Amino acid sequence: MAIYPQLIIDALKHVRYPGTGEDIVSAEMIDDNIRIDGNKISFSLLLEKPNDPFAKSLVKACEQAILTYVSEEAEIKGNIDIRYKTQLPPPPDKLLPQVKNIIAVSSGKGGVGKSTISSNLAVALAQKGYKVGLLDADIFGPSVPKMFGLEDVRPYLEPINGRELIRPEEKFGVKMLSIGFFVDPDSAVLWRGGMASNALKQLLSDANWGELDYFVVDLPPGTSDIHLTMVQSVAITGAIVVTTPQEVALADAKKGISMFTGEKVNVPILGLVENMSWFTPAELPENKYYLFGKEGGKRLAEKMGVPLLGQIPIVQSICEGGDNGCPVACNSESIMGSAFAQLADNVIKSVDNRNELLPETKKVEVKH
């Protein structure tokens, strides 16, 4: 089968730019330099802005489109260049050089309130005077924009030391970025693992995070490519695992702890957070109703030999705060504000103990 330029153009019409949903041909993102030599195909992607968080993902999507719609025998991998209007200086040797502590917040399964814990922990740490960043690494289900009332925000680039970097949004004293800032909030994110991992890398390397005392990373539930990308990209100080008292959640939390403490990853566990520990109605603040079992998280922490950092009850204000864009930790005088303030104190203590007793964190090298 003969390969000709229009065939390539037609194939690339199936590739859409994640930020807008427009196909890359209509968006004029294909440079006029398509080259064909037998089965070998090469061309350049033309991007408007440097540090585009979807650059590497677009390359992979273009490669797949050529193999799918042109020919399975096409030699395309490694032959797509990315061109910008301005050239970028080389990236720094170390990602996040001004960040003192990176805290990964994870859960063995979805629906246990991991993002709620991450967001309120970040706010509680900021209220204690620390410089705090929050990265929503839950690429396929970003919720940080909603929780902070920033659904319509679109970050912009700013020049820093000869590079143009993404400027994190800041609210309640927390710097934050989420893939949700760059995609249509009403559309599902349907990416292969490689595209999601590349987007995460750029949110880490091409953003102006600056100097931070604590960098909270809200990971996706379960275990995935995103978790591996994270531990291979930066040196994580320690992980927090979120669970509920329910037995099925505890079983998955145990697997989550094992993932971090496994020989290949070896990230210290800062502790376990038991969410939805009990229900307390507003009109009866002294009453506790154990809807999902009692102290399952406490028993798991003791069994696994990790600290229990906190037990967070269910109250209506948590749901209302997340829906209204104002995390409950903002009100430090409330019952829930006090609970998250105590959680922040316990996390600080656990991080200090980890840094005192264990060697300096290094980036994980995963060998296949």
The model's pLDDT over 94-140, given as tens digits with 9 standing for 90+, comes to 788 899 999 999 987 778 889 999 999 999 999 999 999 999 988 77
Q: What is the percentage of the chain residues whose pLDDT exceeds 70?
A: 90
The model's pLDDT over 304-342, given as tens digits with 9 standing for 90+, comes to 889 999 998 887 767 676 667 888 888 878 888 888 999
Asked if pLDDT for residue 91 goes beyond 60, the answer is: no
117 shares a domain with 16: no
Under DSSP, the state recorded for 257 is H
Domain extent for 30:
5-84
β-pairing, 169-171 vs 174-178, is antiparallel
Q: What phi and psi, each to the nearest 5 degrees, are found at residue 274?
A: -95, 110
Domain assignment present for residue 58? The answer is yes
Instruction: Give the per-residue pLDDT at 367.
Output: 57
186 shares a domain with 292: yes
The model's pLDDT over 175-208, given as tens digits with 9 standing for 90+, comes to 999 988 887 666 666 566 667 778 888 888 889 9
In one-letter notation, the amino acid at residue 162 is G
The model's pLDDT over 220-251, given as tens digits with 9 standing for 90+, comes to 887 777 888 888 889 899 999 998 888 777 88
The total number of structural domains that make up the chain: 2
Determine the length of the chain: 368
Task: Tell me how far CA of residue 307 lies from CA of 237, 241, 273, 302, 346, in angstroms.
Answer: 15, 11, 9, 8, 9
User: How far apart are alpha carbons 177 and 343 in whole angstroms?
Assistant: 23
Domain assignment present for residue 105? The answer is yes
Q: Which of 56, 84, 112 is the last residue of a domain?
A: 84
Q: Which of 51, 84, 117 is the last residue of a domain?
A: 84
- Look up the CATH number of the domain holding residue 13: 3.30.300.130
Q: What is the pTM of this model?
A: 0.72
Asked if pLDDT for residue 265 goes beyond 70, the answer is: yes
Instruction: Give the per-residue pLDDT at 5.
Output: 85
Instruction: Give the per-residue pLDDT at 336.
Output: 86
The CB density around residue 136, as the number of other CB atoms within 10 Å, is 28
